[in-house]
Amino acid sequence: MVPEPVEEPVEEEPAKKKKKDKKEKKRAREESDEADESPKAKKANNTAGGVEKDFYSEHADVKAMTKAQVESYRADASIEIHCDLGLDYKPLTKFEHTGLGPELLKCTANFEKPSPIQAQCWPMVLSGRDVVGIAETGSGKSLAFLLPALRHMESQPPLGKYDVGVLVVAPTRELAAQTAKVAEEAAGNARMRSLCVYGGVPKPPQQKALAKGVHVLVATPGRLVDLLNEGSCSLNRCTFLVLDEADRMLDQGFAPEINKIVNAIPSKERQTLMFTATWPSEVQRMAQNFLKNPIRCTIGGTNLAASHNVTQNVEIVKDWEKEKKLQALLAQIHKSRSNRVLIFALYKKEAARMEESLRRKGFKVNSIHGDKSQDARNAALAAFKDGSNPLLVATDVAARGLDIPQVEYVVNYTFPLTVEDYVHRIGRTGRGGKKGTAYTFFTEENKGHAGGLVNILKEANQKVPEGLLSFGPLFTKRKTSSLYGDHFDPDADMTKKATKITFD
Instruction: Report pLDDT digits (tens) over 116-125.
Output: 999 999 999 9
| 8 A C-beta contact, residue 283 and residue 208 | no
Report whether pLDDT(37) > 50: no
Model confidence pLDDT, tens digit, residues 306-354 = 888 899 999 999 999 999 999 999 999 998 888 999 999 999 999 999 9
Please report which confidence band the pLDDT of residue 375 belongs to, taking 50, 70 and 90 as the band edges: confident
- Indicate if the pLDDT at residue 24 is higher than 70: no
Q: Please tell me the least confidently modeled range out of 64-68, 337-341, 430-434, 491-495.
A: 491-495
Query: Letter for the amino acid at 330?
Result: L
Are 70 and 62 within 8 A, CB to CB? no
Kindly indicate the confidence band of residue 163, based on its pLDDT and cuts at 50, 70 and 90. very high
Least confident of 223-232, 269-278, 365-374, 486-495: 486-495
* SS3 sequence of 285-342: HHHCCCCCCCEEEEECCCCCCCCCCEEEEEEECCHHHHHHHHHHHHHHHCCCCCCEEE
CATH fold for domain 38-299: Rossmann fold (3.40.50)
Domain ranges for the chain? 38-299, 310-469
| Residue 193: strand, helix, or coil | coil
Under 8 Å between Cβ of 95 and 78: no
Share of the chain above pLDDT 70, in %: 79
**Averaged pLDDT for residues 382-391:** 91
Mean pLDDT taken over the chain: 81
The pLDDT, as a whole number, for residue 503 is 67
Integer-rounded Cα radius of gyration of the chain:
26
- Return the pLDDT at 172: 86
CB 52 within 8 A of CB 127: no
Mean local confidence (pLDDT), 22-31: 52
Asked if 38-299 and 310-469 have one fold, the answer is: yes
Q: What is the pLDDT, as a whole number, of residue 23?
A: 57
How far apart CA 37 and CA 424 sit, in angstroms, is 39
The pLDDT assigned to 41 comes to: 39
Cα distance between residue 295 and residue 286, in whole Å: 16
Question: How far is the C-alpha of 59 from the C-alpha of 246, rounded, in Å?
Answer: 33
Q: Which whole number is the average pLDDT over 489-501?
A: 49
Q: Are 365 and 389 in contact (CB under 8 A)?
A: yes
SS3 410: strand
Q: What is the pLDDT of residue 185?
A: 86
Please, what is the angle between helix 173-189 and helix 141-154, to 10°?
Answer: 50
Domain 310-469 sits in which CATH superfamily? P-loop containing nucleotide triphosphate hydrolases (3.40.50.300)
pLDDT at position 222 is 92
What pLDDT score does 250 carry?
78
Averaged pLDDT for residues 82-109: 81
460 vs 84, higher pLDDT = 460
Quote the percentage of the chain above a pLDDT of 90: 38
On the question of pLDDT at 169 being above 90, the answer is yes
Comparing 89 with 392, the larger pLDDT belongs to: 392
Band (237; pLDDT cuts 50, 70, 90): very high
pLDDT digits (tens, 9 = 90+) for 430-481: 876 788 999 999 999 998 899 889 989 998 899 999 888 887 555 445 455 4
In the prediction, which pLDDT does 476 show? Answer: 47
Sign of CA dihedral 50, 53, 56, 58: negative
Q: What is the structure's pLDDT at 495?
A: 42
What CA–CA distances, in Å, run from 475 to 70, 273, 303, 391, 449? 38, 32, 16, 34, 7
375-403 average pLDDT score? 86
Question: Model confidence at 127, in pLDDT bands (50, 70, 90)?
Answer: confident
Q: What is the largest CA-CA distance in the chain?
A: 116
Query: Can you give the pLDDT at residue 334?
Result: 93
> How many residues are present in the chain?
504
pLDDT reported for residue 263: 92
Query: pTM of the predicted model, to two decimals?
Result: 0.71
pLDDT for the residue 485: 46
| Distance in angstroms (rounded) separating the CA atoms of residues 132 and 130 | 7
Q: Are 454 and 468 in contact (CB under 8 A)?
A: yes
User: What are phi and psi for residue 132, nearest 5 degrees?
Assistant: -115, 115
DSSP state of 206: H
Q: Per-residue pLDDT for 87 more than 80? A: no
User: What was the pLDDT predicted at 35?
Assistant: 40
Confidence bin at 278 (pLDDT 50/70/90): confident
Please state the rounded mean pLDDT for residues 250-277. 85
Q: Which of 481, 479, 427 is nearest to 456 (CA)?
A: 427
Q: In the structure, what pLDDT confidence band is assigned to residue 97 with cuts at 50, 70 and 90?
A: confident
Give the type of residue at 499: T
Q: Which residue has the higher pLDDT, 493 or 60?
A: 60
132, 291 contact by CB (below 8 A)? yes
Residues 6+ apart with CB under 8 A from 111: 95, 140
Q: With a cut of 60, say whether residue 494 has pLDDT above it.
A: no
